[in-house]
Amino acid sequence: MKAIITGGGTGGHIYPALAVARALAAKGWEILYIGSQGGLEGRLVPAEGLSYKAVDVSPLPRKISLRLLSSLLKTTKGFFQARSLIKDFQPDIVLGTGGFVAGPVVLAASLLKIPTVIHEQNVYPGLTNRLLSYRVDRIALNFADAGRYFSGRVREKLRVTGNPIREIILQTTREQGLKALNLEDNKTTLLVFGGSQGSASINNAMVEVLKYFKDSSRLQAIHITGEANYQDFLKRCREQGIDLAKEVNYKIIPYLADMHFAYAVADLIVSRAGATGIAEITAKGIPAILAPYPYAAGNHQEYNARNLAEHGAAVVIEDRKLSGRLLIETLEELLNDDERLEEMKKNSLKLGQPEAREKLVSLIEELI
pLDDT tens-digit readout, 210-269 = 999 987 889 999 999 999 999 999 999 999 888 887 777 889 999 998 999 999 999 999
pLDDT tens-digit readout, 243-257 = 887 777 889 999 998
Average pLDDT, the chain: 93
Together in a domain, 362 and 339: no
pTM, to two decimals = 0.88
pLDDT, position 66: 62
With beta carbons less than 8 A apart as the criterion, state whether 164 and 19 touch. yes
Residue 75 clears pLDDT 90, i.e. is over it: no
With beta carbons less than 8 A apart as the criterion, state whether 13 and 7 touch. yes
Together in a domain, 190 and 141: no
Q: What span, in angstroms and rounded, lies between the C-alpha atoms of 103 and 164? A: 21
Together in a domain, 10 and 144: yes
Together in a domain, 363 and 301: no
Per the document, the length of the chain is: 368
Together in a domain, 223 and 341: yes
- pLDDT tier at 144 (50, 70, 90 boundaries)? very high
pLDDT, position 337: 97
More confident call, 12 vs 305: 305
Number of structural domains (the chain) is 2
Together in a domain, 184 and 314: yes
pLDDT tens-digit readout, 14-34 = 989 999 999 999 999 999 999
Residue 39: which domain range? 2-163+354-367
Together in a domain, 135 and 213: no
For residue 305, the domain's CATH number is 3.40.50.2000
Where are any strands of DSSP class E within 138-267?
Answer: 138-141, 158-160, 188-193, 219-224, 250-253
Reduced to 3 states (helix: H, G, I; strand: E, B; else coil), residue 6 is strand
Together in a domain, 122 and 210: no
